[in-house]
Amino acid sequence: MDGILPLWKEKGMTSHDCVFKLRKILGTKKVGHTGTLDPSVEGVLPICIGQATKVAEYITNQGKEYVAVISIGTATETEDADGAIVESDLSEKRFDCSQIEKVLKQLTGEITQIPPMYSAVKVNGRKLYEYARKGQTVERPERTVSIHELELLNPEEVYEGTEITFQLRIACGKGTYIRTLAVQIGELLGFPAHMASLVRTASGTYRQPDCRTLAEVKDLKENGMISTILHPLEDALTEFPTVEIEEEMYAKIENGQVLPEHPILHDEESVVFTRESKAIAIYRRHPSKPNLMKPEKMFPLNMVRGN
C-alpha cells in the first residue's frame, strides 16, 4: 500500500492521533503526516503511506492556505483562543477597511516571526511548550517566513466595537505561525490580538474536496476500496524537473550508482528520473565530486512495477 492520502483532520485531534488511527485502520506502520496541525485546527493534512513516506518532506515544504478569524482586543498566552487572556483592551474601536488592507499589505512578502512559547520549536534540545508549561521563558530565535497572499474575506466598509473580528485567507510558505501573524496584525493596528479560529484549506496541491475523514477512510478500507483515494507519490514531486530515462540508464539508477551529472542539473539542484511516468529516483548534484550526481531518494517498488 503506497500513496498519499489527503486527510481532513477534525478538531480535537493531534496530527499524531491521526497517524496512530490510520496505522490501525490500514494495517501498516509506514504512515507519516506532512506538517503538524494543532488540535483546535481542522483542515487538510496529507498523509504519506508506504513508499510515499519518503516524499513527506517535499509536501511539508510546499505552500499552505488557511482561513483564519482574527480577533482584535485581547491577547492570550498561546496566541489563539485556547489560552488564558494576558492582555485586554476593550475600549471602543473603529477601523475602516482601508486601514486593515494597509496592514495586510505590510505583512505580505518576506516577514520575520518569533515562534510562540506554546509551539514545538526546539531550543536547547527542548520544545518551547515544555518550557511554557513550567512557567519558564527562553530566548526564541527569529525566523523569516513567506506570506504570499493576505485576503480580507467578506470585507466591511467599517469595523466597530470593543472586540473586532474579521476573516482572512492566507497563502504562505512553510514554518509560518498564523497565531503569531494574528498578533502581528494587532500590533500594527495598535491593539492586542489573537487567532480566534483556523482552518487549513490547502496543503501543497491538495484542497478540501480531495480529502476524506477518518470515518470515511475506515469505511473505504472495510469495503476494499482504499486504493481509489490514494494519490501517487509523484504528486509530491511536481516542483522538480522530470526526465524519462532510457533503458541503458535504468540498471545504473536501479543500483543507486553515482553517475555523470545530467545537463538539467546545471540549473537545478535535483532531478526526478522516471520510467513509464513512475518516479524511480531523485538525483542531485554531488556535494564533493564535480560533474557527478548521486541518488537522494530511491523508489524500488516503482522500479518493480515498471518492469
**Active-site residue list:** 38
What CA–CA distance (Å, rounded) separates 58 from 94? Answer: 43
Q: Rounded to the nearest 5°, which phi and psi values hold at 158?
A: -135, 140
Residues 6+ apart with CB under 8 A from 87: 74, 75, 192
